[in-house]
Amino acid sequence: MRVVIDKGIPFLEGVFPLGTEVVYLLADAITSESIREADALFVRTRTRVNRELLQGSRVRFVATATIGFDHIDQTYCREAGIHWVSCPGCNAQAVCDYVEEAISSVKSGKNDITLGIVGYGHVGKLVAQMGKKHGYHIMVSDPPLGIGSSLVEIAPQCDVLTFHTPLTRSGAFPTYHLCHAAILRLCKSDALIINAARGGVVDEAALLDVLSSGSSQLATAIDCWEDEPAINRELLQHVDLASFHIAGYSIAGKMRASEMCLEAFCNFFSLPILSINKKVVPLHGDSGSGWLQRVSNQLKAAPETFEQLRKQYPLR
């Protein structure tokens, strides 16, 4: 059996059964040619898992070590009989910590905060618990689950509006540009908008129009961007807190993602459940007060290094 793994997925070294050929590749080296003889593929969001990549290969199983899965062509995988899995909730606590730090940085000293949570899945629930711990008033919008109110209803009432949805472009409740110009106009003039969900959930062109108008006090914390890694540099300079898609980057989150991928792999190939390799655990990165501001300063100083900063980011 041959397994191709994105080098950015930790804790998998040396865990596969004897006789398994394991190949570690950088994300941009995962191509149709390099995976042609692979039976299984472990990826992250940078790899587009679609017909162009998979057609003509032996791949039967794909695991993405991420919550999001909009980089996977589900229709093609289904038609081709390729089983795929993601890791829902694996880094939920890390994303919640990101939201907490963003609010602390922008709304420090403010009392009676109303926190609006859009998307009430693994992350949204943790964010609600965090908000209650701080005494925030919680409002929720998750129409697909039938929970809370509509975004139109909660937006005008919230001091903080944070998004935790997948990115979808079809169906009854598409989330592409869910936060669009009309929603931004409804928000309080000094509200904080947080996107730690997926690039494209927030309409960045509409957001830039608001922030560059000179008449808005709207605050923003953006971790997920459209067109990563070639992010909108003009918008970047207007954002209060900017990061390079690392809200979910924690040691615990990465461990859980690798565990979930490995368990799904074993189940699919009818193997005994294997354990991840915890022998080499990296030192924790910067998680002290103000860490998000320091990350933001890094990105704003060198936006062309977005991908490099992301790859080299020390896990919290």
Phi then psi dihedrals of residue 275, to 5 deg: -105, 145
Beta-bridged to residue 24, according to DSSP, are 5
3-state secondary structure of 45: coil
Report the catalytic residues: 198, 228, 245
Contact (CB, 8 A) for 95 and 121? no
Report how far apart, in Å, the C-alpha atoms of 93 and of each of 50, 276, 280 are: 30, 20, 22
Produce one character per residue of 44-69: b if its CB has 16 or more CB atoms within 10 Å, e if not: bbbbebeeebbeebebbbbbbbbbbb
Cis ω for the linkage preceding 156 (within 30 of 0): no
DSSP string computed for 179-206: B-HHHHHHS-TT-EEEE-S-TTSB-HHH
Q: Which amino acid is at 267?
A: N
Specify the pairing of strand 137-142 against strand 147-148.
Answer: antiparallel
Q: Which residue has the tokens 């587009």?
A: 48
CA distances from 59 to 3, 30, 35, 80, 160 (A): 9, 13, 8, 10, 44
Nearest C-alpha neighbor of 94 from the set 106, 86, 102, 82: 102
